[in-house]
């Protein structure tokens, strides 16, 4: 049976002997049709993916989902349901958002084949997420802002819509190919683990609060500035120590400004 899941401590952590595919998490945001959820599970089962998270699904009835996902009870039993996207991504180290719609915001958009190898390599270190939007409207811009990479599956421009199962299958296939092509190499040498999505979200809250405090952000332009900063730090791939250091810096800025203001008073 599917279960509500908000505590990531119960979810699998990265293990050295696990395949990177075991750390690939499929996240469906507000799926509307349980049959489409079942099609997604079937594609995951075909390609060896096992971790599915649903965000605020319209219908997560396991019996209806199972209609299009025969012999996939293991994935149904471990399917996790979340109230919001932040909770579903909290433990992930890298996020790829899939979209078929052009957006006004300036974003670098990749193809699944272009990002598959990097995603598999990051999955060797911990959970990574592929986010897919609801059937009728795709992902909101807020979800794209959370992603390290935005990707589009190439299709005909006059008929670009794929159902969820098709989209998941295409991306999962590219990941399987990329995983087969990467030679066995020593694991990455890091003094500190990568910062997960929850830690990065806390950092951005600290940055935004500080930028408002020093009046760098202005009404009407703040969203664009923060979107650019999101993209910048997502590309950086911060580890936990770097994220804590940056939080400390941005926390100190308003305190320093207040001390300086007090010193300047006669």
DSSP string, the chain: --EE---GGGSPPP-TTS-GGGGEEEEEES---HHHHHHHHHHHHHHT--EEEEES-S---HHHHHTTSTT-HHHHHH-EEESSHHHHHTT-SEEEEE--S--SS---EE-HHHHHHHHHHHHTTS-EEEEE-BTTTB--HHHHHT-SEEE-----TTS----HHHHHHHHHHHHHHHHHHSPP-PPP--SSPBP-HHHHHHHHHHHHHHHHHTT-S-TTTHHHHHHHHHHHHHHHT-BHHHHHHHHHHHHHHHHHHHHHHHHH--
Average pLDDT in the 141-156 region? 89
Per-residue model confidence (pLDDT) at position 48: 92
Q: Which CATH class is domain 197-264?
A: mainly alpha
pLDDT in tens, 76-100: 999 999 999 999 999 999 999 998 8
CB 72 within 8 A of CB 42: yes
Residue 146 has pLDDT above 80, yes or no: yes
Average pLDDT in the 194-218 region? 88
By percentage, how much of the chain surpasses pLDDT 70? 87
pTM score, two decimals? 0.74
pLDDT band at 230 (very low <50, low <70, confident <90, very high): confident
Per-residue model confidence (pLDDT) at position 257: 80
Determine which of 8-12, 44-48, 194-198, 249-253 has the lowest per-residue pLDDT on average.
8-12
Per-residue model confidence (pLDDT) at position 31: 94
**In this structure, CATH architecture of domain 3-181:** 3-Layer(aba) Sandwich (3.40)
Per-residue model confidence (pLDDT) at position 2: 44
Per-residue model confidence (pLDDT) at position 3: 43
Average pLDDT in the 130-158 region? 89
Average pLDDT in the 131-154 region? 89
Domain locations along the chain: 3-181, 197-264
């Amino acid at each position: 049976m599917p279960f509500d899941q908000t505590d990531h401590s119960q979810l699998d952590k990265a293990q050295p002997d696990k395949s990177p595919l075991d750390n690939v998490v499929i996240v469906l945001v507000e799926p509307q049709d349980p049959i489409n959820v079942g099609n997604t599970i079937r594609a995951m089962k075909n390609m060896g993916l096992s971790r599915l998270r649903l965000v605020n699904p319209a219908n997560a009835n396991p019996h209806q989902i199972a209609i299009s996902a025969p012999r996939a009870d293991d994935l149904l039993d471990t399917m996790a349901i979340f109230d919001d996207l932040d909770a579903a991504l909290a433990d992930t180290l890298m996020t790829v958002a899939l979209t078929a719609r052009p957006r006004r915001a300036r974003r670098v958009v990749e193809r699944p084949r272009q990002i598959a190898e990097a995603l598999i390599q990051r999955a060797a270190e911990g959970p990574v997420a592929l986010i897919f939007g609801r059937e009728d409207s795709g992902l909101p811009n807020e979800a794209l802002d959370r992603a390290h990479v935005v990707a589009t599956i190439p299709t005909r421009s006059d008929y670009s819509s794929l159902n969820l199962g098709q989209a998941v299958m295409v991306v999962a296939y590219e990941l399987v190919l990329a995983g087969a092509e990467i030679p066995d190499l020593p694991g990455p040498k890091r003094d500190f683990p990568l910062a997960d999505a929850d830690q990065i979200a806390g950092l951005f809250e600290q940055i935004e609060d500080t930028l408002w405090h020093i009046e760098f952000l202005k009404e009407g332009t703040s969203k664009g500035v923060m979107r650019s900063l999101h993209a910048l730090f997502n590309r950086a791939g911060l580890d936990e120590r770097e994220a804590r250091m940056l939080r400390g810096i941005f926390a100190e800025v308003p305190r320093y400004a207040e001390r300086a203001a007090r010193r300047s008073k006669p």
